[in-house]
Amino acid sequence: MNVHNLMEEYVYTGVNELFDDPEIGKQEWFTCNCEQCRIDTICFVLNRIQPRYIKSGRGLVYSKIEEIYDKSQIMADINHLALEGMKQVLSTRRPHAEKVDTFPEAPVFNFPTIVGRILDGQTFEPVKDIFVSLLMDSKLTEAIDCTWENPYRISKYTPGTFTFWPKPVSTKFENTKKVFSFEIRVEEKGFDLIRYYFEIGLSSESFIRTAYNARNSFFLPDLHLFPEHDKLDYMQYCL
């Protein structure tokens, strides 16, 4: 099973086609055509489509989403996401040298990617255009690099799913154990606040893990988003 690599190939091709498209080259927002912007756009897309293709034991969570999509739909979504990503990368990057991602000194605690879904509490449909935040010790968690933004907006092309990858945290010694406390927060106007707390226990390592590995993911249970007035309905119902 090598779906992940196949997707990388599609994304790689799709993003490069966009960057090489003469029509796009004429657009006002097309401000840079360098390798780094292409790579960042590829990462932007991969960060969003990856959860759909995980084939681990818990990947079954995503099987429902997979059923909804056929291949041509996936390709269309990749193209939409690639364009979205390209615009974001080009508009948020000024001179690239300014935004080099820095890593802490090893030894470090390397975090897994944190993967979850948000469903509409009434219809169980995956939500879209919703912002999800990851907090550690009540503060927005810093991401491993600028393509894993936090808060993360759930794209309509990857309904329901979100993925975070926290930046490694420096420590003094290898093989130290530590439990990190996280919170997933969804503050969306018109909906009940979601605050979901969880912990991840880690051992420090002598190296910084920067290569993405789908097997090293931490899966959260599905979270449900309810409209605000629901509570009132429910109370009336109880009365």
* Least distance from Zn ion to the Cβ atom of residue 97, Å: 11
DSSP string for residues in 145-211: STTS-SSEEPPTTSTTEEEE-BPPEE-SSTT-EEEEEEEEEE--TTB--EEEEEEEEEE-BSS---S
CB 19 within 8 A of CB 83: no
- Told to check if 6 binds Zn ion by CB under 5 A, we report no
Beta carbons within 8 Å of 32's beta carbon, 6+ residues apart: 90, 93, 96
Give the nearest distance from C-beta 92 to Zn ion in angstroms: 11
Burial of residue 65 (CB within 10 Å: 0-12, 13-18, 19+) is middle
Size of site (CB under 5 A) for Zn ion: 3
Nearest to Zn ion of 97, 238 (CB atom): 97
- State the minimum distance, in angstroms, from the CB of residue 37 to Zn ion: 3
Strand, helix or coil for residue 32: coil
Footprint on residues 102-141 left by Zn ion (CB under 5 A) = none
* Nearest distance from C-beta of residue 36 to Zn ion, angstroms: 5
**Cβ of residue 23: shortest distance to Zn ion, in angstroms?**
19
Tell me the closest approach of the beta carbon of residue 108 to Zn ion, in angstroms. Answer: 29
Q: Closer CB to Zn ion, residue 32 or residue 75?
A: 32
- Nearer Cβ to Zn ion (99/229): 99
- CA dist 48 and 158 (Å) reads 6
Instruction: Tell me whether residue 156 is exposed, middle or buried, using C-beta atoms within 10 angstroms of its C-beta: 0 to 12, 13 to 18, 19 or more.
Output: middle
Segment 7 to 66, residues that bind Zn ion, using CB under 5 A: 32, 34, 37
Cα angle 200-204-206, degrees, rounded to a multiple of 5: 145
Compare residues 34 and 68 and give the one whose CB is closer to Zn ion.
Answer: 34
* CB nearer to Zn ion: pick between 14 and 107: 14
Q: Site residues (CB under 5 A) for Zn ion? A: 32, 34, 37
